[in-house]
Structure 1
């Protein structure tokens, strides 16, 4: 295969996998216009359209999907071959692509990143904050980070956090103005801040448990957000009652900036786990990150 053919096929595979010329261009470190021209040259040379393009999205055609399915194992083998060669280096090197829930990124991954990068300067951590339960194999990520209950059983899981508990919080000012609910059943009389999960757009139903009794509550209020930081700011401003497992929320309670309520109804559950597909040979960079998490993550 000539070098130009490999470049064109690699460009197409990146765009088809990422679903975006912009993201693929960043991955390949080229400009989006140059990448688009490369893919068009491939389509012209093959005489078939490989990608459907709109102003908002890019997706493979039937022919493109078939070509991508054939190319993926080839590129995976090439990547593995290069990785094997790198094992002869004294220090592990390469890119570790991580797909993680946003709460996990800011609460548990971020505190580890600085120390890891200092210890392994030749490893690049490429972290995508994502609440969409993306398939890490299909998305070509090395590692995912999710709550333990969301990790598939065929994955290798490594604990990233200790057990977590949901939190219902409000500002003292709000409670003085509207009163303090004693049970979840009283929330319908209060102004609550809803959290919308992206990309499906579903509004989260608040989960409660006490003894053997459990319930989900659909709350209403003046604000719906898709970001835990915005939710916390709104709670501190007295907009309404909030719900979450955010680490920043826990710290705000400890510092007295907001008040935790309905604690007796707040269930505890397994925390966040790092997970990855089982492999016969784990790349050195990935192994270094996994070992670092095992050593430094809070128990």
Structure 2
């Protein structure tokens, strides 16, 4: 159905509803002659008369009644759907789909969403945990959250989190059995808890920085996990050393449950950014969430 067909059917429905070309033309913002021409054109294409017309009244023919019964509900649904979509730009409603890695969800998204959602009951946020460099367009996500250096250049990026320093930590019980490492090279003789990235299948590299030079170490140990929460728990149990965001274990270090080593070799990664494809035609709900995430970082 072409755009003109839809306009003609809308004109037909208006005349049928008003039983008057004069009143229907006024509602449509058309002249009566233009509306009459539209209906005559529709009748000519259908090769059927849709209205009986006299100088005093307008009524549907049998063909007009059939057409009204078939298209009336459908066109009404189309108008309602278009109106509903229009409202999405005026008031914050709808679902926002995001992809983020595990620590971004924990450190940035969850605190912001917990504060944001109660104020907007019409908004729903759906978060998928993913370590990969997700194509948000093909994945039909509204936005993604990744560290700044990992975002494609053609994306719009908004800083929403501080830099992420990493820490090597172990429990007091672990260090009661092992000599603490003095440099990254000593880690090859330690029991280390690795993170296998679920998307790529690779082990997350333990990376260090000193005097402006990066040092990467391939470590091994008794256990490999695909998320950081069980790595933290395994470190607390004394199973081995963990390489985790410092803020994620800061409270445990302060409480003496974990001990940080190699702090002078600490590597700091660029903070998290929200990235998305285009600013145009973004919903009111999405723009509000962007602003909430940006403000949370200030």
Tell me whether the two structures share a fold, i.e. TM-score over 0.5. Answer: yes
1:219 aligns to what?
Answer: 219
Contact 1:103–1:246, Cα closer than 8 Å, also in 2: no
* Aligned residue runs from structure 1 range 92-103, under 5 A: 92-103=92-103
1:86 aligns to what?
Answer: 87
Distance 2:285 2:217 in 1: 44
Contact 1:84–1:283, Cα closer than 8 Å, also in 2: no
Q: Structure 1 unaligned runs (5+)? A: 2-79
1:137 aligns to what?
Answer: 137
Distance 2:132 2:230 in 1: 19
* Structure 1 residue 155 corresponds to structure 2 residue 155: yes
Report how far residue 105 of structure 1 moved: 0.5
Matched residue SS, 1:219: coil
Contact 1:107–1:246, Cα closer than 8 Å, also in 2: no
Contact 2:164–2:246, Cα closer than 8 Å, also in 1: no
Distance 1:113 1:214 in 2: 35
**What do residues 198-233 of structure 1 show as CA deviations (whole Å, max 9, x unaligned)?**
122111221011013221100011111111010000
Report how far residue 135 of structure 1 moved: 0.8
1:292 aligns to what?
Answer: 292
Give the ranges of 4+ consecutive aligned residues of structure 1 lying more than 4 Å apart after TM superposition: 80-84
1:242 aligns to what?
Answer: 242
Matched residue SS, 2:176: helix
Contact 1:147–1:270, Cα closer than 8 Å, also in 2: yes
Distance 1:226 1:165 in 2: 20
Contact 1:164–1:271, Cα closer than 8 Å, also in 2: yes
Distance 1:227 1:82 in 2: 43
**What do residues 146-202 of structure 1 show as CA deviations (whole Å, max 9, x unaligned)?**
011111122111122111111111111111210110100111111111110012211
Contact 2:169–2:243, Cα closer than 8 Å, also in 1: yes
* Structure 1 residue 181 corresponds to structure 2 residue 181: yes
Report how far residue 112 of structure 1 moved: 1.4
Distance 1:280 1:151 in 2: 20
**Residues 188 and 132 from structure 1, CA distance in 2 versus in 1: closer, same or farther, beyond 3 angstroms?**
same
Matched residue SS, 1:177: coil
Contact 2:88–2:94, Cα closer than 8 Å, also in 1: no
**Residues 113 and 105 from structure 1, CA distance in 2 versus in 1: closer, same or farther, beyond 3 angstroms?**
same
TM-score by length of 2: 0.69
Matched residue SS, 2:214: strand
TM-score by length of 1: 0.69
Contact 2:93–2:285, Cα closer than 8 Å, also in 1: yes
Work out the number of aligned pairs and report it: 220
Contact 1:142–1:276, Cα closer than 8 Å, also in 2: yes
1:55 aligns to what?
Answer: none
Report how far residue 82 of structure 1 moved: 6.5
**Residues 126 and 264 from structure 1, CA distance in 2 versus in 1: closer, same or farther, beyond 3 angstroms?**
same
* Aligned residue runs from structure 1 range 28-67, under 5 A: none
